[in-house]
Amino acid sequence: MPPGEPFIRPAWIVDNLDVIWQRLTEHVGMTLTAVVIGFAISFAAALLIRRRRTLTAVVLGFTGILYAIPSLALFAFLIPFTGISFLSAEIALVSYTLLILIRNILLGLESVPPEVVEAATGMGYTPRQLLWRVELPIALPIIVAGLRIATVTTVGLVTVTALIGQGGLGYLIVVTGVRGFFPTAIWVGAVLSIALAVLADVALLGVQRWLTPWSRARGSAA
């Protein structure tokens, strides 16, 4: 950093609000894309595992290995195949959400008391009705808990995608900040990504409370 350069230059922030806003929206977009696709895949995988129990070890083992690969390494693995691209970034980001989401969806569905399933079946619920009207609402707090962890983790990982040519808040930290010797950009990028992670966490908790009013009455925390 140049000697005498302050941590924050408020004038730069004011002059570059449009750039900062662009990086922020890119960051939100990349996070949402990864979590939504990750959730869709995880939901399908969890339902498949429930039909074929023997798949549990294979799916959780495979997603566990993906989860253990350091982020920059996973991005780098993909470059020879899908290039320095948005696709490479998203494949890696989606991979990281799978273990947490599949595990929590399964845990949530397993948390449904057998008596409740029994009662619903006795009342003539079809398997599909049972899933959507009984099992998923009961499993929701645990599923949302998984979504919260996956989202907060993804917000952090999206910053790393700047190293493989993507935008987002990591661009402010790495390219504008570290490589441009400009502390203000580092602070803006870091503070905004922390704020985004906390905001997403609180918002998802709010969604869960709103969707499961009965758990609020009992004061249960997920």
Partner 1 sequence: MTLIDELATWLSDPAHWTGPDGMVPRLLEHLAFSGGSLFLAVAIALPIGLAIGHTGRGALATISISNIGRAIPTLGLLGIVLTITANWWPPYGFFLIPTVTALVALAIPPIVTNTYAGLRAVDPEAIEAGRGMGMRELQLLWQIEVPLALPSILTGLRVSAVQVVATATLAAVLGAGGLGRLIIDGIAQHDDAQLFMGAVLVGLLAIATELTFAWLQRRAVSPGLRARSRAGGDIG
Would you state the torsion angle of the CA atoms of residues 50, 51, 53, 55, taken in this order, to the nearest 10 degrees?
-100
Task: Select from 13-21, 36-44, 128-136, 162-170 the region that touches partner 1 (CB under 8 A).
Answer: 162-170
State yes or no: residue 152 binds partner 1 (CB under 8 A): yes
State yes or no: residue 177 binds partner 1 (CB under 8 A): yes
Phi/psi of residue 5, nearest 5 degrees = -75, 125
Decide: 174 and 162 in contact? Cβ < 8 Å.
yes
State yes or no: residue 168 binds partner 1 (CB under 8 A): no
> From the CA atom positions of the chain, what is the Rg in Å?
21
Burial level of 114, CB count in 10 A (0-12/13-18/19+)? exposed
| Tokens describing residue 41 | 């895949």
State yes or no: residue 119 binds partner 1 (CB under 8 A): no
Phi/psi of residue 139, nearest 5 degrees = -80, -10
Please, what is the minimum distance in Å from the beta carbon of residue 172 to partner 1?
9
State yes or no: residue 35 binds partner 1 (CB under 8 A): no
State yes or no: residue 77 binds partner 1 (CB under 8 A): yes
Please, what is the minimum distance in Å from the beta carbon of residue 170 to partner 1?
6
Chain positions contacting partner 1, by CB under 8 A: 1, 3, 7, 68-74, 76-77, 79-80, 84, 152-153, 155-157, 159-160, 162-165, 170, 173-174, 177-178, 183, 186-187, 189-191, 193-194, 197-198, 201
